Amino acid sequence: MRDQLSGLVFSTEKGQLCPGCKEAVDQCICDQLADQQRLENLDGVIRIRRETSGRKGKGVTTISGVPLADKALKELAKKLKQQCGTGGSLKDGIIEIQGDHREKLKQLLEKQGYRVKLAGG
């Protein structure tokens, strides 16, 4: 085995295997598994928090605990960004919206039927 193959297991049946999920590399389900695990650990309450540490200006509003799979979560993030008229991102299941939009986001999410808690400062 050369260095470039380290971490990859070879199976004559499937070809190169992903070291994470042991599926063929082109059928890797690691993202899916991580997403599943995230969903299993949720308690059904969305938490909205403002974070300013290490950030400029008003900081960001983070939304965690949204009980949606990755794809739907991406769509929700996009919609919320539009509704707040600002930018943002989605990372590890947490939506980040630029600026302080806690009250507005709480209202928007509650309107969609979610249980929402404002957490932290």
On whether the CB atoms of residues 20 and 30 are closer than 8 A, the answer is yes
For Zn ion, the closer of residues 18 and 109 by Cβ is 18
On whether the CB atoms of residues 77 and 87 are closer than 8 A, the answer is no
Residues 6+ apart with CB under 8 A from 31: 70
Backbone angles phi, psi at 20, to 5 degrees: -80, -55
DSSP state of 36: H
Q: Which of residues 12-31 bind Zn ion (CB under 5 A)?
A: 18, 20-21, 28, 30
- # binding residues, Zn ion (CB under 5 A): 5
Q: Which of residues 20-79 bind Zn ion (CB under 5 A)?
A: 20-21, 28, 30
For residue 86, give the amino acid letter.
T
Q: How far is the CB of 111 from Zn ion (least distance, A)?
A: 37
For Zn ion, the closer of residues 26 and 43 by Cβ is 26
- Report the residue number whose CB is nearest to Zn ion: 18
Q: State the Cα–Cα distance between residues 12 and 90, nearest whole angstrom.
A: 38
Q: How far is the CB of 121 from Zn ion (least distance, A)?
A: 38
90 touches Zn ion (CB under 5 A): no
Binding residues for Zn ion, rule: CB under 5 A, are 18, 20-21, 28, 30
